[in-house]
Structure 1
């Protein structure tokens, strides 16, 4: 894959490639048999005896899933792996079965012409911190005891939560600010500066952690290289999913962030209060709730660890060091690392250096990590594209121009819908609010407020435009891939009036009561369909590449993604009991269909209850020049689905080119002899069709640019409306 400014270019044909991708998948955060709501088996034997073989799906089912994804128009996979999956047994011990499994799945990707970039995934450091990603042994390495994270508020973990089914939605994200994850991220990125006494096996903890992380991901890269999967399948590597600064740059450990849009939910200890609690000291902390304009303080709560500590006892620490062959420097004793470094005094319970972490220049440490990581990957895969992912929400720092062949890979979610699990009649321009576009003071929230469907959709477009522009300015003239974007499918359904007044009423009424709609997820008016359509419209309006979060075959109708109460998978299979029942997966529920079902085919006896209309949209996969604009209108009961695409020739190229557009057969049936069902209009050239499989086809549009290399070439494709079927009894 070549890069031409902000475009990916196919090395063989010179065509611009637009990537419509998906994350495969969230299930890879978890070992087999250990969902985040299961207590049994959690933190047993340092969580060494787990397996991730079969994540994201069993090898014998891979063809079914990859074929489905290809049929749905995806041409890129963000392939999730974790450091834990590779090196869970102990430092330097790699799970060869898992590595072989990954290679075998990637080989199958080649058969479906799917490109892949590898995502070393983590959330709030590890499963033991209430997230995912990094090995359990990293906790005893630094002296932490995950069995006491809950009582000490060092992390809020669903596995040990008293009632896992009532685990507060999105509270897992606050673990980034709690002691366990914050300590580990600080040591990982800047241990040399902040924890010079933490020496293990002759090196600083920062060097120890980073070298093992690099070597673990290199194990994947070695096998990709040895199996001739470089470039033909795997085009690059993400740096690290959603990295975090830990305590670095905190101006005062006795205070919470004064940023009034910083995420806060539930009991929120300051850094110092977290250190007290982790050392077994009862402490009063602030409690926060989430309101329409962000987090709001809601009093204080007394937390009492009842004598437990998040730090290993000297005896338990010694046992771990023997098991994992660690030799600590004598100055690194058991107990709180930050007490040992004189930031506070455990005995007198006093703060000594409240500004210890201030002005740490986290971006400097993160860039150093990025440079070292790039060097490690390219020592094996010399042509790898590095997908640069800075911390979430933040603008990226200025990346050294010595780093080349990059792609900017930030994440973006509609945070209001994600947290509230509700598609509201209002929203907030969070990215530009965060960047200071609306000034200062409380009134800036009103200036950033958007009311009504049209304003919300434009708000999403504006936010992604800002993100893309920041990447061009700071990362460089490289492509942008929104590495995660998606919606919660377990939304509370609400009915809303139309128009501005209706939108304002819907916004006001949503604070007081819910009026439930009878719309099913498969209708154009469902909240899930509206939310996904607004997300994808923002991608298309900015001509961005993306990878939707996510595809999970074992998504559960009760537990969702089986991870912290999230439920974002675009797949949830509903098995049909009757062997006589024929299910067309293009039509999501038997009550609704497109106008023409003549092209319906049976794929399997399992129905995807998540296949909302707006997920299945036409787009140009390969373009014979430079894209100019893309507009997709999802079909409704009153309006045909349509796709309007414009491009221009690449400078210096004057010849006939082919542009390939993906069309889902469900709403754009392949043209019959009389060309009924789908209408095609072109400003130039001619087109042919190639029916690839039952559920999609490729329209190939050929234009001779030699006559007018400055022209804008346009194609418009119109499909079908949605039609309500007669109910069958």
Structure 2
């Protein structure tokens, strides 16, 4: 399939025929975070083989590509956020690139274009690396910085499933490795150290050099080097739109007071506190040096509807230092603090991470802006037309601020959005839902959808600050499928093949896509994992997450592309893929099947507007009414072409046949 290249005009993606394109895609895939075939967190590991791993086969072996690409195309997706990791490219050591993997990844991009998918390359990470409880960076970087990765988990410097999970017991283990607990690693010292060095090593660790370069320059050059290797291999593919800057970057300790613990809104930090350990940077530094600390724990209080401090937790009671014996803490070396021989410590500059000379630091402007510029410069040296899919810290969309003033041109706001309560608790009830960011309660589905629309609308408004207006593409959004104690899995295993057990999932996805439709913004849902299992210890193969829209365990009929799909009625739905004019309103009622789309046809409108019309929502066919134009149905290929009679408003109404 010959795909038209896309470019940006204001808030829209536009193809070579001048049509405004709405991208509805999926992340491919969740298990790309871990090596193939047995690198998932459902396998025990001490990470000692981190230099010898391979990621060929993630997201799937090439022999399976036709099956998976055909399925995703049949479900109406036209875009892939195709995952890779820095580790996948450069796991063996500095500048030792895995050329076989690079060829495999480029082959996937090329084949995706043949199936009609636009692709943007996502260099993925979560809480820095696999050794610190997530994925992303190669393990040898810890060695370069002076950290012994083998001590990270035992010291409490990171919360790592492979260190905590009882593999002989199996199943969900809330007592040992609670749901979504990996995310709290962003507050722990392994992340605090590595992210601060990655973004601001020149300012906060000026004496730490690696192979003659400051640690920040060294790390950034190697990250961009991995990106460059992929870019060279996909530069001429018209379906490759560009690169994600970096998945969910974290500020580390940049901008924080050395001794401040965030226990609730304060003059220092007016935002709501989140449940979990309330680390200060000095807590993290002490723990990293083998000093035992008692850290406040914030628990959610149902009465006040906020996180409150009611207990403490002892961290690193075994007094394990993560620093190699011959290496020095770069922040202590720079004069932030001092660890005395008797185990006491002195905070020498409480504002160490807040000021550089007489300048108060601003993470977005001082560090993310230059980072975006370097990523854009690197990829555009290879293809000057590529789009930058820029991401800020994942909480920025909820709390702000906006994008840096010097964000490069040709940039998309590619932030992430989830219903945080649904994601964190793996429960969903549209008739009672707490908004953790505000404390508000939704007591009906329409109230919950309104909340989704307000939150996503805030993301869209952030795009207005990007070069005078840019597209919004929600890079991740989705739901866990092991909702409400995984009751749908039990029903499926018992033989129920109806939609009934999946009703909560369908409703949750429907409300999410209704909000996206109303706002006319782009998205790539998280995620499609080809290796997914209906097993609470496995899921997507990473930290017991289970957000895949497909599972092999539910594939009862391999000849049916829909077999194995989860809650399809929630996301396989009609939408305007390409509009010859400007979309004005789009709405779909899942219950009645009514699709209502209005657009402003362009002057001299000779091209066709293309609407995806899935068999799944219209099993008996559909009736189409066009006011201001004519319809050309091609229902065998799940589409309807609309041709406007003249410039001006065109309305398309599609409904189910009885």
TM-score by length of 2: 0.89
Of the candidates 20, 23, 29, which is equivalent to residue 27 of structure 2?
A: 23
Of the candidates 146, 149, 162, which is equivalent to residue 146 of structure 1?
A: 149
- For residue 288 of structure 1, report the CA deviation from its aligned partner: 2.6
Match for residue 591 of structure 1? Answer: none
Match for residue 510 of structure 1? Answer: none
- For residue 720 of structure 1, report the CA deviation from its aligned partner: 6.1
1:24·1:551 contact (CA, 8 Å) conserved in 2? Answer: yes
- For residue 181 of structure 1, report the CA deviation from its aligned partner: 0.9
* 1:277 pairs with 2:309: no
1:169·1:419 contact (CA, 8 Å) conserved in 2? Answer: yes
* 1:38 pairs with 2:48: no
Q: Secondary structure at the match of 2:625?
A: strand
Distance 1:655 1:524, change over 3 A: farther
Match for residue 490 of structure 2? Answer: none
Distance 1:274 1:576, change over 3 A: closer
Q: Which has the larger radius of gyration?
A: 1
Kindly provide the CA deviation profile for residues 564-603 of structure 1, in whole angstroms up to 9, marking residues without a partner as x. Answer: 12110111123668xxxxx4x8xxxxxxxxxxxxxxxx43
Q: Secondary structure at the match of 2:197?
A: helix
Distance 1:551 1:398, change over 3 A: closer
* 1:99 pairs with 2:102: yes
Of the candidates 367, 376, 379, which is equivalent to residue 378 of structure 2?
A: 376
Kindly provide the CA deviation profile for residues 66-105 of structure 1, in whole angstroms up to 9, marking residues without a partner as x. Answer: 1111110000000111110000000111000100001111
Distance 1:556 1:720, change over 3 A: farther
1:623·1:658 contact (CA, 8 Å) conserved in 2? Answer: yes
Matches within 5 A, 1:492-641: 492=484, 522-523=499-500, 526-558=503-535, 559-574=538-553, 583=557, 602-603=559-560, 607-635=563-591, 640-641=592-593
* 1:250 pairs with 2:256: yes
2:306·2:436 contact (CA, 8 Å) conserved in 1? Answer: no
Match for residue 656 of structure 1? Answer: 606
Matches within 5 A, 1:442-453: 445=439, 448-453=440-445
Tell me how many residue pairs correspond in the alignment: 617
Match for residue 724 of structure 1? Answer: none
- For residue 398 of structure 1, report the CA deviation from its aligned partner: 4.2
- For residue 681 of structure 1, report the CA deviation from its aligned partner: 1.4
Q: Secondary structure at the match of 1:84?
A: helix
Matches within 5 A, 1:85-234: 85-163=88-166, 165-166=172-173, 167-225=177-235, 228-229=236-237, 232-234=238-240
Match for residue 334 of structure 2? Answer: 341
Kindly provide the CA deviation profile for residues 151-204 of structure 1, in whole angstroms up to 9, marking residues without a partner as x. Answer: 321100001114364111111111111111111110011100000110122211
Could you tell me how far apart the structure 2 residues matched to 1:575 and 1:615 are?
Answer: 17
Kindly provide the CA deviation profile for residues 521-553 of structure 1, in whole angstroms up to 9, marking residues without a partner as x. Answer: 723971111111111111111001000000001
Could you tell me how far apart the structure 2 residues matched to 1:175 and 1:494 are?
Answer: 25
* 1:355 pairs with 2:296: no
Distance 1:90 1:525, change over 3 A: closer
Could you tell me how far apart the structure 1 residues matched to 2:407 and 2:271 are?
Answer: 35
Q: Secondary structure at the match of 1:185?
A: helix
- For residue 125 of structure 1, report the CA deviation from its aligned partner: 0.7
Q: Secondary structure at the match of 2:483?
A: coil
1:26·1:550 contact (CA, 8 Å) conserved in 2? Answer: yes
Match for residue 649 of structure 2? Answer: 712
1:30·1:52 contact (CA, 8 Å) conserved in 2? Answer: yes
Kindly provide the CA deviation profile for residues 471-511 of structure 1, in whole angstroms up to 9, marking residues without a partner as x. Answer: 1134531111000000011111699xxxxxxxxxxxxxxxx
Q: Secondary structure at the match of 1:125?
A: coil
Of the candidates 247, 259, 263, which is equivalent to residue 241 of structure 1?
A: 247
Distance 1:520 1:169, change over 3 A: farther
* 1:681 pairs with 2:658: no
Q: Secondary structure at the match of 1:607?
A: coil
Could you tell me how far apart the structure 1 residues matched to 2:43 and 2:272 are?
Answer: 30
- For residue 242 of structure 1, report the CA deviation from its aligned partner: 0.5
Distance 1:84 1:335, change over 3 A: same
Q: Secondary structure at the match of 2:318?
A: coil
- For residue 623 of structure 1, report the CA deviation from its aligned partner: 0.8
2:132·2:153 contact (CA, 8 Å) conserved in 1? Answer: no
Task: Identify unmatched segments of 5+ residues in structure 1.
Answer: 315-333, 434-444, 496-517, 578-582, 586-601, 670-675, 722-729
- For residue 263 of structure 1, report the CA deviation from its aligned partner: 6.0
2:372·2:408 contact (CA, 8 Å) conserved in 1? Answer: no
Kindly provide the CA deviation profile for residues 129-155 of structure 1, in whole angstroms up to 9, marking residues without a partner as x. Answer: 111111111111111122212232110
- For residue 63 of structure 1, report the CA deviation from its aligned partner: 1.2
1:668·1:719 contact (CA, 8 Å) conserved in 2? Answer: yes
1:251·1:357 contact (CA, 8 Å) conserved in 2? Answer: yes
* 1:297 pairs with 2:297: no
- For residue 343 of structure 1, report the CA deviation from its aligned partner: 1.9
Could you tell me how far apart the structure 1 residues matched to 2:511 and 2:435 are?
Answer: 14
Match for residue 320 of structure 2? Answer: 308
- For residue 350 of structure 1, report the CA deviation from its aligned partner: 2.6
TM-score by length of 1: 0.81
Q: Secondary structure at the match of 2:461?
A: helix
Kindly provide the CA deviation profile for residues 368-397 of structure 1, in whole angstroms up to 9, marking residues without a partner as x. Answer: 111111111100011001111111121354
Distance 1:371 1:698, change over 3 A: same
Matches within 5 A, 1:388-427: 388-394=390-396, 395-400=400-405, 403-424=408-429, 425-427=431-433
Could you tell me how far apart the structure 2 residues matched to 1:631 and 1:261 are?
Answer: 34
Q: Secondary structure at the match of 2:202?
A: helix
Match for residue 515 of structure 1? Answer: none
1:24·1:550 contact (CA, 8 Å) conserved in 2? Answer: yes
2:608·2:643 contact (CA, 8 Å) conserved in 1? Answer: yes
Could you tell me how far apart the structure 2 residues matched to 1:430 and 1:659 are?
Answer: 40
